[in-house]
Structure 1
């Protein structure tokens, strides 16, 4: 375990030592990265580093190494900084070569009597980019709590002397109170559904201490407010962060999920809005003076509210399920291989659980299971392959059924959001991100979500009324998301397509007004007098270990590779021809595509990475049952058939 004054507690000291030893050799930067990447490869090194997601900012040591699990919400324009510069002490005329990398301010701010030798031949101007990063939208209570627990259980580095870079606006809790938080997962997260009752409804008071809530109004003045942390989902809380990126700028994209490892900067000089810019920086970048006040507020918020993180390493996240190993590729492969042995048995337990949740409807439970493991695995031209939007129709109108069902989904997946499709929400919510040219930033929307987020659209709440222009745009955006797995961001003068990978689940009374890949009418076999109590009882009957197995099962099934042999492909083609012989209108190419998707998901749900003849026949069978259920009943001589 690292000791004090090491690469975690004092990374700038490590960097400075390498810079001094380099004797102006430009290779020092590569050696710094190599050193820290080597340290992070050590066993359990990831768990030694405190997390900005889980530890209050005032408990983190300034200029220490921290990590941040986040979504890249916006990318600001590149900025220039002094990579290397030379200072002069006017009293002694002594010159010292210094580095500006991984810092927000130069020594000129810390040691006022120093001067920069602007004529020095050793001056190196460099470029970096700033990402505005937010916690992964829609993180569920159990996911946040498990990540939090892992950080506190493994790391002695997390609880350090409180930062003195600012004075919190509220009284800090004692460590004893934090210990109490560790044992109460229900207090770890603010509800994501904007007022919807949760299985655990208490907010995250740790995050409320130092962060302001995200504003979701659409007025430009509020969009540029320094208190608007620009979270995509209404009601979310957490630490937003400005991540300074120095290398591999082209390898990052908007909406990437990352775990960033970097040097934490909460310099108090950054906490004053509209403060005079660093004189050396203004000399290097004359455009600094051209920033509008709105742009300054968006790009230079107080460091006590939006800390800076100077990236040393970033780990792309294919998933954010803390129950799966994510440190090393070989660990992931070994874990998945061992779990695949019990995929079939876990599937049987999970299917039984979902059947109880869906009031005894085994067919609907089967399709819900397939939906939960679906994911876009490739794109062919504009067609996203692997998506499986499910429309569960026949849901009780004006009831809490969808709300209760979403609470169950919250206990199973790492990220989810329920959008109640009321007329007011459709006309007032901002679903599509838009560019604010005054503040020069991307204003987030509710559809700016991480990959594999479960989006539940509650259409049972839609009442009669008139959709305004915003409502029509929102409905169109949802339709494009479902059909093409893309969101068209609004850049005022044009739209820009951003591909996504979001699992959309629509609940409705009749057939949904939105498109879907599969519609399953719900046929309850039980009618409990108190639906909420019934679902709560079913959920509580599951052991925590069982629920954790379900959580692992869903994530593992999404990561498996899949293939179809030439022999099975030929058999499927022949079968399709035979099905169309008797009635060419009975089975279309669209039906074949849907059955192939179902067959793929059925195979993966059993831990099988290739399609078998039996798997294809099973897919045909359940599709036939679904279509039979979906067909409108006709009458014969006034009587039901």
Structure 2
């Protein structure tokens, strides 16, 4: 590792040098992209670059190379900039051709009449930290970083005013936290947060006056999220990126205070004479926020992330290749350990633990017209009302998956929370909602918090949005005059007392075999006994199972077809095409959870024994429970109602089924 990285500390120097060697586009631009791509192809070299996710903004050097792991929350209109321009020396009158790419500001003395001026176009993404990212993921990325930074003194960031008590609290926290380097970050196993008051999202408890005094909303999808928002300037191939994509961006950090002054001047001038600006004050405020709050990042190299598991390589090809081969022999044992762990968490219900594993490994792998293939929404009913059990269960899931969010479906939350993003035409931006999530996020819906009361129009819209998300894996964003479908890939787990208000692919009624005297103490003890190394094995296993390639051989396809014909022979109504599709989904999840890349006879037979065909009649839907605004919602379980889900679990031979599942799960899958 060299002592000085000029390409990290001064990337604009590299850009200007390549521009001076040959300033004819696109040759020099291609050389710049290839230069940094070559430097960053090595994972160790990437770890030398400081990250906006881990390092506070005031510790980063302006115009240096930084990286940012984020989600595209919004895309602004393309903007024009001076890609090349000439400056005139005031004393010698000599003209110098300069590069304006990867910069927000040009140098003084620009010759606006020069014929060598080149106007170019770039796209701007508004990016936020990945919503719902687990603490173990953030700590994992922070520990893998080898960057060493010191506080920058070249500028003073403009922060919101805060009270002396807040400063004293922050100083106390900083002294109490262990240090891992010059930047004073918390150690890899600590639970502390970096001092970043200026990038903290307002929580739901913040009053309206406090929010208005900040003059800016960082527009995080989930309430209470922390981290820096960033304006990412993209110069090449921005068409391949989409809203809600996960990105890792390597770019030039731009935090010049002049950017904030320009925004203030534009706002003041528009107030004096609105005709001077085509933008409204709200749009200027949203698109040109202070650089100390929302820094600019000029992308030199960026890649879409298929996952954000810090324990795995970022490239899916490497995950499916060398990493999977090295971990393949451990898949069966890790699955057995995870099954035992979840069985204890689910109070001894082995069958519910099996289905929870299938749910955690599920993912939408393809779409046929409007039908998403691979989704597996699980409704875990029988959860006690008003107890801390569901919160503890969510904490367990949060420790296993990289991204998650718990939605407490109380009447207050359903009637007040904004789930669906909407377009704000005044500010010309997409206002985020709680359902604007990255793919493979685990959405935990807690129906045990639902009480008797009235759902207003907002609550009904939110309930409908959740039903569409579960059934079609899409969210209809509100564009006022129309709705726009955004496909998604979100794992939904519903916990309820009785049958859920929402549709599901499978319902399992929790049947505890363990009744601890103190439930919270029992669950806490289970979590404490799990070593970090063991949890890491579970995290790797779940991600690998989701990434496995899967196929059905011709022999198995013929066997499934014969079984389907046989099941319909006596009563054609007993097995429909939807039932067959559901069984194939469960068989697929069962196979990949065992580490198999093709459907085996054992997985298919196990699926046939456990999954029952759906009963005749219409499937459950949200409108049956609440058909209009103001409709009364009653928790079904508390009234003693019961219903048959879309796919129910056979409990007639519970002990035998559990024994068979355990036997298959513990059997060696690989030679």
- The normalised TM-score by structure 1 is 0.89
Structure 1 stretch displaced more, 16-25 or 308-317: 16-25
Deviation at 1:99, TM superposition (A): 1.2
Give 3-state SS (helix, strand or coil) of 1:294's partner: helix
| RMSD (CA atoms) | 2.6
Listed one character per residue, the Cα deviations across residues 88-123 of structure 1 (whole Å, up to 9, x for unaligned) are 133321211111110111112xxxxx2x22221101
Deviation at 1:212, TM superposition (A): 3.2
* Kept after mapping to 2: 8 A contact 1:580/1:587: yes
Once residues 275 and 490 of structure 2 are traced to their aligned partners in structure 1, the CA distance between those partners, rounded to angstroms, is: 39
Once residues 293 and 433 of structure 2 are traced to their aligned partners in structure 1, the CA distance between those partners, rounded to angstroms, is: 21
Listed one character per residue, the Cα deviations across residues 131-168 of structure 1 (whole Å, up to 9, x for unaligned) are 000000000111111111112xx223x44545524255
1:255 aligned residue = 244
Once residues 442 and 213 of structure 2 are traced to their aligned partners in structure 1, the CA distance between those partners, rounded to angstroms, is: 29
Once residues 221 and 344 of structure 1 are traced to their aligned partners in structure 2, the CA distance between those partners, rounded to angstroms, is: 53
Q: Which of 435, 444, 460 lines up with 1:456 in the alignment?
A: 444
Give 3-state SS (helix, strand or coil) of 1:71's partner: strand
1:404 aligned residue = 392
1:514 aligned residue = 502
Q: Which of 584, 606, 613 lines up with 1:596 in the alignment?
A: 584
Once residues 249 and 287 of structure 1 are traced to their aligned partners in structure 2, the CA distance between those partners, rounded to angstroms, is: 32
Give 3-state SS (helix, strand or coil) of 1:306's partner: coil
* Kept after mapping to 2: 8 A contact 1:145/1:185: yes
Runs of 4+ in 1 over 4 A off after TM superposition: 23-26, 167-177, 215-225
Give 3-state SS (helix, strand or coil) of 2:544's partner: helix
* Kept after mapping to 2: 8 A contact 1:135/1:240: yes
CA pair 616-138 structure 1, distance change in 2 beyond 3 A: same
CA pair 288-220 structure 1, distance change in 2 beyond 3 A: farther
- Runs of 5+ consecutive residues of structure 2 not aligned to the other structure: 162-166, 613-646, 654-671
CA pair 331-502 structure 1, distance change in 2 beyond 3 A: closer
Structure 1 stretch displaced more, 72-81 or 571-580: 571-580
2:310 aligned residue = 322
2:651 aligned residue = 629
Once residues 317 and 649 of structure 2 are traced to their aligned partners in structure 1, the CA distance between those partners, rounded to angstroms, is: 42
1:292 aligned residue = 280
2:35 aligned residue = 35
Once residues 306 and 570 of structure 1 are traced to their aligned partners in structure 2, the CA distance between those partners, rounded to angstroms, is: 58
* Kept after mapping to 2: 8 A contact 1:506/1:512: yes
> Structure 2 matches for 1:200-599, cutoff 5 A?
204-207=193-196, 209-214=197-202, 226-272=215-261, 274-276=263-265, 289-326=277-314, 329-330=317-318, 333-599=321-587
1:130 aligned residue = 124
Give 3-state SS (helix, strand or coil) of 1:206's partner: coil
Once residues 209 and 579 of structure 2 are traced to their aligned partners in structure 1, the CA distance between those partners, rounded to angstroms, is: 46
1:164 aligned residue = 155
1:69 aligned residue = 69
- The normalised TM-score by structure 2 is 0.85
Once residues 219 and 471 of structure 1 are traced to their aligned partners in structure 2, the CA distance between those partners, rounded to angstroms, is: 22
Once residues 81 and 275 of structure 2 are traced to their aligned partners in structure 1, the CA distance between those partners, rounded to angstroms, is: 13
CA pair 288-4 structure 1, distance change in 2 beyond 3 A: farther
- Runs of 5+ consecutive residues of structure 1 not aligned to the other structure: 109-113, 189-203, 632-641
Give 3-state SS (helix, strand or coil) of 2:566's partner: helix
- Across the two proteins, how many residue pairs are aligned to each other? 600
Once residues 214 and 475 of structure 2 are traced to their aligned partners in structure 1, the CA distance between those partners, rounded to angstroms, is: 25
Deviation at 1:214, TM superposition (A): 3.7
* Kept after mapping to 2: 8 A contact 1:78/1:129: yes
Give 3-state SS (helix, strand or coil) of 2:574's partner: coil
Give 3-state SS (helix, strand or coil) of 2:611's partner: helix
CA pair 23-370 structure 1, distance change in 2 beyond 3 A: closer
Once residues 557 and 308 of structure 1 are traced to their aligned partners in structure 2, the CA distance between those partners, rounded to angstroms, is: 37
